[in-house]
Structure 1
Amino acid sequence: MKLHIIELKKMSDFLRIRPVWDRMLEQAVTRNVALTYEWAYASWKRYAGFFDVRVATLWEADTLVSAIPFVAKPARGEGCRGTAVQVLTEIVPYSTVSEDAPVLECFFAYLRRKYADLLKVSFQEVDASCYGFAALTDWAQSEGMPFFIYKSHESPYVEIRTDFSSYYLTRKKKIKNALRNKPDKLQALSPFRIVSYAKESDIRRGFQQLLEIDCESWKYEERSDMASREGQHIFYETLAEEGAKRGMAELWLLVNEREPVAFEYNLLFEGKVMAIKWGYKAKYAPFSPGVILRLETTKQFFERGFRMIDLWGSKDQFKTIWSDDHFDRYAVHLYANSAQGLSLKRQDEAARNSAAAPSAVELC
């Protein structure tokens, strides 16, 4: 298979390719929400103005075989001058319509031509079980490229094999311990209800309430809320709006008579739910509103026939209420086989070993 690359560097170019991208995804070896046009478009809008954002589209004649969005910025390392590239897909490192397509060969040849000083290429939050993970390291070894892999986190998930009642029996003790009589106390404080926003006409209103909650949560103090990091709120708002057009975005909120209290931000794709964001206002912490809301959303997803809920991110006490199973997710960094590339690799390894994140993570 002979491929050629067309680089998308203008927003207008990217907007025009949507129908072709959708056809590519329909035929892809692995289908995942993070490979959708909506995810890539939201990523572009998030990083535009901060970094050099591009999409490498790989074609066989007039058929789109793969599309790889990425950002490029100066490599961060002592004594290292060059370019670092981060690929902007998650879970699956890249899309392709054929296992025989020389995607990596073509993509890296393009990067080396474009960035003569290329030092590093990173893939974040990749599942080892997904297509393309092993190919990264196999290809790097064949090319003599040093690489560094580490498990970035464990992402809990709920696999739906039965009905909700059967599932609830397996989690009843943990859920009851978390809730106790808190729903009654919250109801007594101010009557609450649970609402969802999924229609294109409603999604913006739901997102505004979501941001209000996030800015009054514990995440704001940690600067891990959506508004505190460059462009992140743009990514999530764009993804919600674009996802609503495809019917894959749902924002769930617990609200009382005074204000929105807690939220869940979910993406629905191929019978799976990805719970990518959640939070609650810190002053309501004694009532466990996040647990109240998730109990309802989990029940709803069971009843609607979804087979998996990916709780995303790292394992924490809240997520282990719902699941004891997890996906291992990895970061994969490939380096130029040069003195500077090897130096940057050693610095990243040392930073990771001392519990500090490698430079590529700063983009996330």
Structure 2
Amino acid sequence: MLVVSAPSGVEVVHEYDTFLALEAEWNDAVERAQVPHPFLRHEWIRTWWDAFGADKHLHIIVVREEGRITGIAPLMRESVTMYGLPVRRLAPLANDHTPRIEFIIAGDAGETYRAIANSLREEMERWDVLQLTQLPKTSKTMTAMLQFAAAHGLPIGTWKSSDSPYLELEGTWESYWASRSAKFRSNIRNRLTRLQHIGEPRLEVLTDKTAIAAALTDAWRLEVSGWKDQEGTSITANAAVQRFYTLLVDRAADHGWLRLHFLAVGDRRIAVSYSAMYDGRLFLIKTGHDREYHTCSPFKLLTYLAAQDSFARGLREIDFLGDTESWKQEWTPASRAHEWLFVFSHSRRARLLHSVKFQMAPEIRKWRA
């Protein structure tokens, strides 16, 4: 089913086949919008849906100007339970495996956001909450949706999410490395020397789809570090998650941005980063290492070699993604803040949910503390 609103040039895509047919136009819009990461590209969104889309419904808002896509709000509808209440939720085509989201704006921002907002208003009887996750704090989508809520008197709430460290690659590798603390540089040298007693370490960067697919067994073995295995958060602990990362190899590698970075010593791979190299940036999506070599800090050494390689390639940034962690802060003090935005509709259920989530629940947490 394709619902078209001719006066506004807005389409709401519900059918998977219609979504598939948008691939070329979609990616063209992503490139014109100058999205600096691959997490909104059609192949990423399609793969996410194929892995995680069960029991959900596509609700992709597409804005056109003279036939050309000027905006996309990649959303879905789902029925969930929040605080014991049955809720009709509009949300991005994303979950914990999508580091960052945004609406794709490839035309006049004001007009395009207004068209998206009008579509959301027209469909408001069908949703209780619009929940936008992992929006950069500087997001224009955040600003536009806050304006939409204010214009229609809709309750809102925000939640601070992750601060994701990133390293700007300015100057030379030598000048950057000299700027790190003496203690940190000494630690790296010692770990490198320790590993060299076993064999000569080397960085292996796989870009070819066939080579990456053949190396996935090693990648999954390394990604299952002790705590991930115990907590059930590793890729192989969940069939849908493994399907997502496996399918992405086939689709993203065709577009040239997927990478597997390995630290190898002798003929053995001992650390991995499932990565994206996109728009002059390296994104460390999933990482892991061989516990047998933990005294050598294999992933720290992989990061060391990958950073050198990134400088040599002329990249502009390494994005560590995820949360701020002490090991990431050894490489950079800079980070990007992310927030979640909740916009609640006029329904009684939505207003009750807003009251529970943003008024009652915080008071209960204070009381328990």
TM range (shorter): 0.7 to 0.9
The answer to whether the Cα contact below 8 Å between 1:92 and 1:130 also exists between their aligned partners in 2 is no
Partner residue in 2 for 1:51 = 56
Partner residue in 1 for 2:3 = none
Change in Cα spacing, 1:92 to 1:169, as seen in structure 2 (3 Å) is same
Give 3-state SS (helix, strand or coil) of 2:209's partner: coil
Partner residue in 2 for 1:20 = 25
Partner residue in 1 for 2:132 = 123
| Distance in 1 of aligned mates of 2:189 and 2:201 | 17
Measure how far apart 1:291 and its partner are: 0.5
| Identical columns (%) | 19
Counterpart mapping for 1:77-156 below 5 A: 77-78=82-83, 80-88=85-93, 91-100=100-109, 102-107=111-116, 110=119, 116-156=125-165
| Distance in 2 of aligned mates of 1:5 and 1:169 | 53
Question: Structure 2: which amino acid aligns with 1:3?
Answer: G
The answer to whether the Cα contact below 8 Å between 2:124 and 2:345 also exists between their aligned partners in 1 is no
Query: Are 2:313 and 1:287 aligned?
Result: no
Query: Which residue of the other structure, out of 304, 314, 322, is the alignment partner of 1:313?
Result: 322
Measure how far apart 1:216 and its partner are: 4.1
| Distance in 1 of aligned mates of 2:129 and 2:304 | 43
Give 3-state SS (helix, strand or coil) of 1:265's partner: strand
Change in Cα spacing, 1:15 to 1:78, as seen in structure 2 (3 Å) is closer
CA RMSD across the alignment: 2.8
- Which whole-Å deviations, capped at 9, do the CAs of 1:38-88 have from their partners, x for residues lacking one? 221221122133533453333334212223323332232245233112113
| Distance in 1 of aligned mates of 2:360 and 2:327 | 28
| Distance in 2 of aligned mates of 1:96 and 1:48 | 24
Partner residue in 1 for 2:212 = 203
Change in Cα spacing, 1:306 to 1:108, as seen in structure 2 (3 Å) is same
The answer to whether the Cα contact below 8 Å between 1:27 and 1:97 also exists between their aligned partners in 2 is yes
| Distance in 2 of aligned mates of 1:30 and 1:215 | 31
Partner residue in 1 for 2:170 = 161
Measure how far apart 1:32 and its partner are: 3.4
Q: TM-score, normalised by structure 2?
A: 0.85
Question: How many residues align structurally?
Answer: 355
The answer to whether the Cα contact below 8 Å between 1:261 and 1:281 also exists between their aligned partners in 2 is yes
Partner residue in 2 for 1:362 = none
Change in Cα spacing, 1:227 to 1:122, as seen in structure 2 (3 Å) is farther
Question: Structure 2: which amino acid aligns with 1:145?
Answer: L
Change in Cα spacing, 1:44 to 1:352, as seen in structure 2 (3 Å) is farther
5+ residue gaps, structure 1: 357-364
Query: Are 2:340 and 1:331 aligned?
Result: yes
Q: TM-score, normalised by structure 1?
A: 0.87
Query: Are 2:225 and 1:243 aligned?
Result: no
Moved more, 345-354 or 87-96: 345-354
Partner residue in 2 for 1:359 = none
5+ residue gaps, structure 2: 1-6
Measure how far apart 1:231 and its partner are: 2.0
The answer to whether the Cα contact below 8 Å between 1:243 and 1:249 also exists between their aligned partners in 2 is yes
| Distance in 1 of aligned mates of 2:216 and 2:229 | 17
